[in-house]
Amino acid sequence: MTERGAARRPDHLSAVPDAPPGPATDIGDLVRAVARGDEPAFARLYDLVSPRVYGLIRRVLRDPAQAEEVAQEVLVEVWRTAARFDAARGSATSWIFTIAHRRAVDRVRSEQASSDRTMKVGVASVETPYDEVVDEVAGRLERRQVRHCLDDLTELQRQAVTLAYYQGHSYREVAELLKTPLPTVKTRMRDGLIRLRDCLGVEVTS
């Protein structure tokens, strides 16, 4: 698989503009516009982030119907609280995914409280959603960096980070699942994230 598309461009299709069309679509700019009540800006923001917001929530909850419900809550929350986004504490993208992840985890925990999660997971895992198959192909390139960096962690770091992030487990549950003492799990979550941060080159300039 190569990026040959850009290399050889047939002449008849040269109606390509030098500058990209449409208004700016930096996610941070969009969130600032949304904070001023700009609904078209919100629609553009929706198109940019909703596949990852929905995908993340579905990954954690595993039930497409519930994921849709929680994704709606999250995206409306982004609209409602856009004015509270603080660029000094991180990127707009991260702000949005933090809201999404927390909501998904809250839902998982309240499901556990009502003790029907196992059943729901059992039902949901039978189907193979259509777009999951497509994503498998489409997402390969984008995933490569994250995958590569996850592979760079120790087994325990990787397990601790992914069980918490992708499955919504608390560090106590992770400790139980991995048969590892609590302080060790806390430490592996922290140093695992630090190693990921360095591998991905993440920076917050405040």
- Please select the residue that binds other proteins; options are 29, 121, 124, 132, rule is CB under 8 A: 132
- Please select the residue that binds other proteins; options are 33, 85, 117, 158, rule is CB under 8 A: 85
- Polymer length of the chain: 206
- Please select the residue that binds other proteins; options are 84, 115, 126, 155, rule is CB under 8 A: 84
Q: Give the phi and the psi of residue 16 in degrees, each rounded to 5.
A: -95, 125
Q: Which is nearer to other proteins, 118 or 198 (CB)?
A: 198
- Please select the residue that binds other proteins; options are 118, 122, 125, 129, rule is CB under 8 A: 129
Residue 39 contacts other proteins per CB under 8 A:
yes
Q: Give the phi and the psi of residue 20 in degrees, each rounded to 5.
A: -60, 145
- Please select the residue that binds other proteins; options are 120, 121, 152, 170, rule is CB under 8 A: 170
CA 189, CA 197: separation in Å to the nearest integer? Answer: 12
CA distances in angstroms from 107 to 50, 74, 155, 156, listed in the order given: 18, 12, 28, 26
Residue 151 contacts other proteins per CB under 8 A:
no
Q: Which is nearer to other proteins, 37 or 122 (CB)?
A: 37
User: What residues numbered 1-20 form the site for other proteins, per CB under 8 A?
Assistant: 1-10, 12-13, 15-17, 20
Residue 71 contacts other proteins per CB under 8 A:
yes
What is the residue-wise DSSP string for 40-93?
A: HHHHHHHHHHHHHHHHHHHHHH--HHHHHHHHHHHHHHHHHHGGG--GGGS-HH
Residue 191 contacts other proteins per CB under 8 A:
yes
Question: Nearest 10 degrees: CA dihedral of 10, 14, 18, 20?
Answer: -90
Residue 141 contacts other proteins per CB under 8 A:
yes
Residue 81 contacts other proteins per CB under 8 A:
yes
